[in-house]
Chains A and B, each alone.
Chain A
Amino acid sequence: MTTTIKNNLLDSILSQVVSNPSFSELRATSRLLLEKNGLPAIKEEEYKFTGITKKLENSISDFSLAKKSDLNSKTVQSHVFEGFEGDILVFNNGFYDKELSSVSQNGYIFSLITDAKPELLGKIAAKEKDPFVALNNASFQDGVYLKIPKNQKVENPILFLFLNQSNGGQVIQPRILIEVEENAEVTFLEDNISLDDKAYFSNTVTEIKVGQNSQVHYNRLQNESKNAISVNNTETDIHRDAVFTSVVVSLSGDMVRNNLSLNLLDSGCEGNMYGLYLLNGKTHVDNHTNVDHTKPHAQSNELYKGVLADSSRGVFNGKIFVRQDAQKTNAFQQNNNILLSEDAIVNTKPQLEIWADDVKCSHGCTTGQLDEEALFYLRARGLGKEQARGMLLYAFTGEVMDHISDEAFQNHVVNIVQTRLGSNF
């Protein structure tokens, strides 16, 4: 069932010479895994609503790695949202672009993964869990390693700017490793932008160690072209008393798959996951989240909301795993969807596995239409239909955007969302 894929996608990617031969063990073991299992077919439980392999096969013709394209600082600046203050790490087709980035290293230490060869690489994101992690392991070309030293608060947010376009090949595979030491504090912003509307496949892996008593916010915006296919694996190890908060806002793309895994490794830690997907056309966005409670007295909060128009498709799968040791766990999960069209589809599935007996877990999901009563109420007070609708949808989505931890970035996202909601999508 996956043989063609093995030949095409895997073989072409894997046969490419990786420019830096480090991490040979990680690469070799990942490669073996891939050769054995291939990329996920639709039969696989984890990918049953998201036929990503087939999508790749049908949309991507050149599985070689995209090359750095000719970008100048003007282009980069035009894609930095208004009001941003802080360092920018520019990824040009997945390659870190030194000339275009601005790295002050104020409060953090920056290096290329291939220079630093960090021990931790590949230790947080489990390659066995997702074949795309293995694929990135086996064949990533470039990436960055950031370290926030103990007791350090990074004052300004750090922006990862992924500028993508297929150029030379259609596969883009960046890699990020972040190590936050004890008592440190940092906010990351990530913006994914297509520079043209040709198809490409971006396969990103982000690993984050959230050290003891540290605080990390990761805010991600996905607003790529209608032909962009992307898979994101973000996995975090969260240590004692640490807080990690993720906000993922998905607004466009052809097919997007996000795997977000939070490993709550010790007591007193907290993991927060917020997501918003606002979809139209044929955009397909799949959020698979996984939170693993391993020790007592940790908590997780999760809220994903979706608004779907046209024949878009949303998938939400939220796993909460509470191990036997993890007494006094608090885990909360919620997924709410509004469908604006008869052709839009949402598949939502909470997956709770609870092995401890003294825990507080709650979950819920709703899928419905816009509240007609509320719409009538606002119109009866003189508000135009479009405006009333936009206001209700904005109120629905606002709860997620409230959690974006940088004001300028929040304004940026709110502006895009409001424009979309006010204009019939």
Chain B
Amino acid sequence: MLTIKNLHASIEGTPILRGINLEVKAGEVHAIMGPNGSGKSTLASVLAGREEYEVTEGEVIFKGKDLLELAPEDRAREGVFLAFQYPVEIPGVSTTNFLRTAVNQVREYRGLPALDAVKFLSVMKEKMKLVEIDQKLLSRSLNEGFSGGEKKRNEIFQMAMLEPTLSILDETDSGLDIDALRIVSNGVNQLKSDKTATIVVTHYQRLLDYIVPDYVHVIYNGRIVKSGTKELAMELEEKGYDWIKEEVNAASV
């Protein structure tokens, strides 16, 4: 579904990603871990099409298409979804209000008929249950005055509405209490299928008890320096990242 080859990206001339290789197949869950500042969000942002980042080398193929050629909205329409590490606050725009337009533009792109107001509302109700989110929240200005947990739940709610094939969750678990974590993970798990794939970027092994990964990768200094299964996450939880840093630094000397 997704093939990343030798991806290099920089921001304002500073290289951040320095040769990422990753293959994600339908039905898989990949966890990406790594110390702060190693390039996890950068990778997620480059995949979603954030324009500040310049891709200097490499390629990304998504469902046979050159992903890097597409505008952010077309990536979303093709089925890429990024749950933001820091969801943006937008005064005066409510979730319901923009999502109806978004859902219908996505559906149009995918050759599906538009949802009318009634149908949209009923789909919304159904997806709201999934993440236990309140309709009132969805009528308020987007993310404005939302708690951390509410913001993250709203991200997963939008994900459910947009029915992506590839979901990238950037630290969706950070700052959540156990209950919220359970709700969010539960939502993600219910949306998983053998036709979709998930990349979870996280700091904490805890999340992986709820969303069980098939693979775990460690990014350090803009490269995937170690890959394994969920046992790798356990090891990281126990030992921290220093041993990985040392390994990498020793190898590069």
Q: Which residues of A pack against B, CB within 8 Å?
A: 371-374, 376-385, 387-388, 391-392, 394-396, 398-399
* B73, CB-defined interface residue at 8 Å: yes
* B65-80 CB contacts (< 8 Å) to partner A: 71-73, 75-77
Q: Chain B residues with Cβ under 8 A from A373's Cβ?
A: 88
CB distance from A385 to the nearest CB of B (A): 7
Beta-carbon contact of A382 and B103 below 8 Å: yes
Q: A387-B101, A387-B105, A391-B101 are in contact. Are A380 and B72 (CB under 8 A)?
A: yes
Beta-carbon contact of A378 and B102 below 8 Å: yes
CB distance from A60 to the nearest CB of B (A): 40
* B175, CB-defined interface residue at 8 Å: no
Pick the residue among B50, B76, B90 that contacts A392 (CB under 8 A). B90
Q: Chain A residues with Cβ under 8 A from B92's Cβ?
A: 394-396, 398-399
Q: A382-B76, A383-B98 are in contact. Are A377 and B103 (CB under 8 A)?
A: no
Beta-carbon contact of A381 and B88 below 8 Å: no
Q: Chain A residues with Cβ under 8 A from B105's Cβ?
A: 382-384, 387
Q: How large is the interface on B (under 10, 10 to 19, 20 to 34, 35 or more residues)?
A: 20 to 34
Q: Which residues of B pack against A, CB within 8 Å?
A: 48-51, 71-73, 75-77, 81-82, 84, 87-88, 90-93, 98-99, 101-103, 105-106, 109, 158, 162
Q: A382-B102, A382-B162, A384-B105 are in contact. Are A374 and B90 (CB under 8 A)?
A: yes
Q: A376-B51, A380-B82 are in contact. Are A385 and B73 (CB under 8 A)?
A: yes
Point out which of B51, B73, B105 has the most chain A C-beta atoms below 10 A from its C-beta: B73
Beta-carbon contact of A391 and B72 below 8 Å: no
Q: How far, in angstroms, from A391 to B103 measured CA to CA in the complex?
A: 15
Q: How far, in angstroms, from A376 to B93 measured CA to CA in the complex?
A: 14
Q: Chain A residues with Cβ under 8 A from B81's Cβ?
A: 380
Beta-carbon contact of A380 and B76 below 8 Å: yes
Q: How far, in angstroms, from A407 to B190 measured CA to CA in the complex?
A: 44
Pick the residue among B88, B93, B106 that contacts A382 (CB under 8 A). B106
Q: A392-B93, A395-B90, A396-B92 are in contact. Are A381 and B71 (CB under 8 A)?
A: no
Q: How far, in angstroms, from A391 to B72 measured CA to CA in the complex?
A: 17
Q: A387-B105, A391-B98 are in contact. Are A380 and B90 (CB under 8 A)?
A: no
Number of residue pairs spanning A and B whose beta carbons lie under 8 angstroms apart:
74
Q: Considering only CB atoms, which chain B residue lies closest to A388 in the complex?
A: B73
Q: How far, in angstroms, from A373 to B76 measured CA to CA in the complex?
A: 16
Q: Chain A residues with Cβ under 8 A from B93's Cβ?
A: 378, 391-392, 395
Q: Chain B residues with Cβ under 8 A from A374's Cβ?
A: 88, 90
Beta-carbon contact of B88 and A384 below 8 Å: no
Q: Chain A residues with Cβ under 8 A from B88's Cβ?
A: 371, 373-374, 376-377
- Can you pick out 15 interface pairs between chain A and chain B where the beta carbons lie within 8 Å of each other? A374-B90, A376-B51, A376-B88, A377-B90, A378-B98, A379-B73, A380-B49, A380-B73, A380-B81, A382-B77, A383-B98, A384-B73, A391-B98, A391-B101, A395-B92
Pick the residue among A376, A381, A398 that contacts B98 (CB under 8 A). A381
Pick the residue among A376, A383, A385, A394 that contacts B102 (CB under 8 A). A383
Q: Chain B residues with Cβ under 8 A from A372's Cβ?
A: 51
Q: How far, in angstroms, from A391 to B92 measured CA to CA in the complex?
A: 9
Q: Considering only CB atoms, which chain A residue lies closest to B52 in the complex?
A: A372
CB distance from A199 to the nearest CB of B (A): 37
Given contacts A377-B88, A381-B76, A383-B102, 5 further A-B contacts (CB under 8 A): A374-B88, A376-B72, A382-B105, A385-B73, A396-B92
Q: Chain A residues with Cβ under 8 A from B48's Cβ?
A: 380
Q: Chain B residues with Cβ under 8 A from A381's Cβ?
A: 76, 98-99, 102, 158, 162
Point out which of A381, A385, A398 has the most chain B C-beta atoms below 10 A from its C-beta: A381
Q: How far, in angstroms, from A382 to B112 measured CA to CA in the complex?
A: 14
Q: How far, in angstroms, from A391 to B99 measured CA to CA in the complex?
A: 11
Q: How far, in angstroms, from A376 to B87 measured CA to CA in the complex?
A: 11
Q: Considering only CB atoms, which chain A residue lies closest to B99 in the complex?
A: A381
Which 9 interchain pairs have the tightest Cβ spacing? A395-B92, A382-B76, A379-B72, A382-B106, A377-B88, A382-B102, A381-B102, A379-B73, A395-B93
Point out which of A371, A372, A382, A388 has the most chain B C-beta atoms below 10 A from its C-beta: A382
Q: How far, in angstroms, from A404 to B179 measured CA to CA in the complex?
A: 44
